[in-house]
């Protein structure tokens, strides 16, 4: 079981973008091929939009896999999850620092992921 608490900075991210990503993952029922137990938009404040994602780890979560899964969320929010492969791969090739993604892992292995800036265009 994995629990990710995702936070999206406001006003950079819009509620409708986050809701669309949550709805899409909920419909798909899996995250990186791993079954989703639940995903929901839990609350929003003036500064952040919060999403809880609870999914089953069916394989070991290596650092590279974790990073790809976390980047996929940002790509999905930008509406690029089903973009042509060239565009999708260009977006996914960027490091966390360039995409302004930070995270904190707790002793119980749950984590907070903070997305500070949306993917407005495909980074170079």
As given in the structure block, the two tokens for residue 108 are: 């119980």
pLDDT at 82: 82
pLDDT at 85: 87
- Between 62 and 124, the more confident residue is 62
Assess whether pLDDT exceeds 80 at residue 121: no
pLDDT per residue as tens digits for the range 10-50: 999 999 999 999 999 999 999 988 999 999 999 999 999 99
pLDDT at 124: 39
Q: Which domains does the chain have, with CATH numbers?
A: 2-115 (3.30.70)
CA distance 11 to 49: 9
């Amino acid at each position: 079981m994995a629990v990710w608490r995702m936070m999206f900075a406001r006003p950079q991210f819009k509620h409708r973008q986050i809701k669309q990503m949550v709805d899409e993952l909920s419909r798909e029922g899996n995250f990186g091929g791993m079954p989703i137990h639940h995903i929901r938009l839990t609350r929003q404040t003036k500064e952040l939009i919060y999403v809880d994602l609870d999914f089953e780890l069916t394989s070991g979560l290596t650092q590279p896999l974790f990073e790809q899964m976390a980047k996929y969320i940002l790509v999905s929010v930008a509406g690029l999850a089903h973009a042509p492969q060239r565009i999708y791969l260009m977006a996914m090739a960027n490091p966390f620092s360039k995409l302004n993604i930070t995270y904190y892992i707790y002793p119980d292995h749950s984590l907070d992921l903070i997305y500070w800036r949306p993917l407005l265009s495909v980074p170079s």
